[in-house]
Amino acid sequence: MKIGFIGLGNMGAPMAANLAAAGHQVIGFDLAAPCPDGVLKADSSTAAATGQDVVITMLPNGAILRSVAAEIIPAMDKGAAFVDCSTVDVDSARDVAADAVAAGLLAVDAPVSGGVGGASGGTLTFMAGGSDAAFAKAEPLFDIMGQKAVHCGESGAGQSAKICNNMILGVTMIATCEAFALADKLGLDRQKMFDVVSTSSGYSWSMNAYCPAPGIGPTSPADNNYKPGFAAELMLKDLRLSQQAAKAVDAATPLGQHATDLYRVFVEDEDGQGMDFSAMLPRFEKKGR
């Protein structure tokens, strides 16, 4: 396929590179980041979108997505697919998809899970919203960039799935970090704590796959001084999106709200900026009741 890729940051660059390595013709655009190997450089987002079979965006927020969409939708050929892999608010995803469909395009909102490592390794999970035809057009590309793609429903369903997933992740990571900090003060060996919880009812991805305690469980950012695999400020962004959505539909999410509040303090008032979201553990180690 001929693919335009707009947004070549930490996630977008390796995703675009994997598509190019698989034999697709990829032309990219980013205001600041360079194009990765194998990806041609466009002078503008419009140039990257013109004449392509698929245009993929990976952008920071809903406002930027709306702005880029307004530029590229008129430039795209009818029948082409607009695949947005950004994590944004549900309303922005739905509005952009509606504009794309009105212009004769196929539209997919497909945020990802798996972080920079998943983007580089081609092991991302895609949560997709859009029509059956739109998903079918994008699915072969998801198979290159990721290990799994789930068609969650109509436009906006991908974003809905992503923010629900990451609300769970934020809450469970906080609970995991609290538990390790409590175990320390109770004199419980961290390895013994892991051996029990990882095979008991406290099992979670935060414990078993991404343990926040250095030297415990599989290698994680905790073993690299909490340099981000998934930055705390990105977790805060996703938690805020979850609470924005919850407010819009009048959903009770008290733990989601509390996790948002804790990550806000950690990122904006403490030293969490630029740290992995699992660095909540050393934070809790320093706190008393």
What is the spatial distance between Cα 84 and Cα 111, in angstroms, rounded to a whole number? 7
Among 162, 185, 192, 247, the one annotated catalytic: 162
Strand, helix or coil for residue 244: helix
Q: Mark whether 162 is an active-site residue.
A: yes
Q: Two tokens at 141?
A: 């590309």
Per-residue pLDDT in tens (0 to 9) along the chain, 289 residues: 999 999 999 999 999 999 999 999 999 999 999 999 999 999 999 999 999 999 999 999 999 999 999 999 999 999 999 999 999 999 999 999 999 999 999 999 999 998 888 999 999 999 999 999 999 999 999 999 999 999 999 999 999 999 999 999 999 999 999 999 999 999 999 999 999 999 999 999 999 999 999 999 999 999 999 999 899 999 999 999 999 999 999 999 999 999 999 999 999 999 999 999 999 999 999 999 8
Cα torsion angle, 74, 75, 80, 83, sign = negative
Q: Supply 79's token pair.
A: 């029948």
Rounded Cα distance between 13 and 161, Å, is 24
Q: Give the C-alpha distances (Å, rounded to integers) separating 146 from 103, 106, 116, 121.
A: 28, 21, 12, 8
Amino acid, res. 235: M
Structure tokens at 273: 């900026």
